Amino acid sequence: DRLPALLAAMPKAELHMHIEGSLEPEMAFALAARHGIALPYADSAALRRAYAFGDLQSFLDLYYQGAAVLRTEQDFYELARAYLARAATENVVHAEIFFDPQTHTARGVPMATVIRGLARAGDEARRERGISSALILCFLRHLSEREAFETLEQALPFRDAFIGVGLDSSERGHPPEKFARVFARCRELDLHIVAHAGEEGPPAYIWAALDVLKAERIDHGVQAVHDAALMQRLARERVPLTVCPLSNQKLQVFPDLARHSLPQLLAGGLCATVNSDDPAYFGGYVNANFQALFAATGLDAQAAWQLAANSFEASFVDASAKQRWL
């Protein structure tokens, strides 16, 4: 079977990964030692064993705890450098990378420290590995719109270092409408708009991400299959969905990867893509996501080609770069 080799070798863009979610347990322990922080686990193997999640919130609790070892510009640089090196080996030629500044500014880490470290790794990887990348600032939806506005204000001195904004963290109970005004402001600033919606939350949150936030892409969106009118709209408007199979499996969004909705999304003509979300926590980088999904669902080489083409279509690179990759 040559499908796994094709999935690994094909050039692709990765559009849904949180840089804090690429913090491997080994790096967490190294950074903890660097800063004299005690982690409540014996070693990296014990930390990895704790990665057994029942739902999104049980993951987020560990994810925010892990991020606490990130303190200095060098830490953020090394984190992003490691992800980009790995992505390049998986034939990711372009990555759009989420970061969660509120996780860090709440601990007293300056916005400048976060953005400068991440941006430096992106510049270096472009020069040294030929992989292009861009940053997308995510607002934490369990916090207030006021705090999102404050975060945007802190980030504006670095406006050129990120291309867009997103919305992540605990979905249920925090609908897109809560952030209507801050996303309106972001649109005035010509930032690209994306939002997590329909991961655990209902199709109504996908409608609101589109109609209220004016999201250009939906992150996850896998619950769209429960709403036929929404499926038709997403297909007609070619609104991309950045789907993360191993994340959905680990957070028990589907009972089994074999029952994942991605084949239905493709069959419905939607612009679905495959991504890793939080690769250090969910058991694999982007190629492992492709391979697990294809093994479980029986998708074929035609679907592989479609998903790779979709990833470039869905990216925010300019039209000439898209042409080159498509």
Structure tokens at 325: 């990759």
**Residue 278, annotated as binding a ligand:** yes
Measured distance CA(296)–CA(303) in Å, rounded: 14
Residue 105 interface partner, choices ligand HPA, Zn ion, none, CB cut-off 5-8 Å depending on type = none
Q: Phi-psi region for residue 278, left (φ > 0), alpha (ψ -120 to 50) or beta?
A: beta
Q: Which of the residues 171, 199, 200, 216 is marked catalytic?
A: 199
Q: Interface residues with ligand HPA (CB under 6 A)?
A: 18, 21, 56, 63, 168-169, 196, 199, 247, 277-278
Nearest to residue 72, comparing CAs of 25, 36, 18? 36
Tell the burial category of 45 from Cβ atoms under 10 Å away from its Cβ (0-12, 13-18, 19+). exposed
CB of 326 to Zn ion, least distance (A): 25
Structure tokens at 17: 């990964």
* Cβ atoms of residues 21 and 281 within 8 Å: yes
**Residue 16, annotated as binding a ligand:** yes
Active-site annotation holds for 14: no
Nearer to ligand HPA, 14 or 278 (CB): 278
Which residues, 273 to 312, sit near Zn ion by CB under 5 A? Answer: 277
* Cβ atoms of residues 79 and 120 within 8 Å: no
CB of 194 to ligand HPA, least distance (A): 12
CB of 115 to Zn ion, least distance (A): 19
Indicate whether 100 belongs to the interface with Zn ion (CB under 5 A).
Answer: no
**Residue 18, annotated as binding a ligand:** yes
CB of 281 to ligand HPA, least distance (A): 8
Nearer to ligand HPA, 196 or 217 (CB): 196
Q: How many CB atoms lie within 10 A of CB 51?
A: 18
Q: Cα torsion at 99, 101, 102, 105 (round to 10°)?
A: 150
Indicate which residues carry an active-site annotation. 199
Q: Which residues are annotated as a binding site for substrate?
A: 278
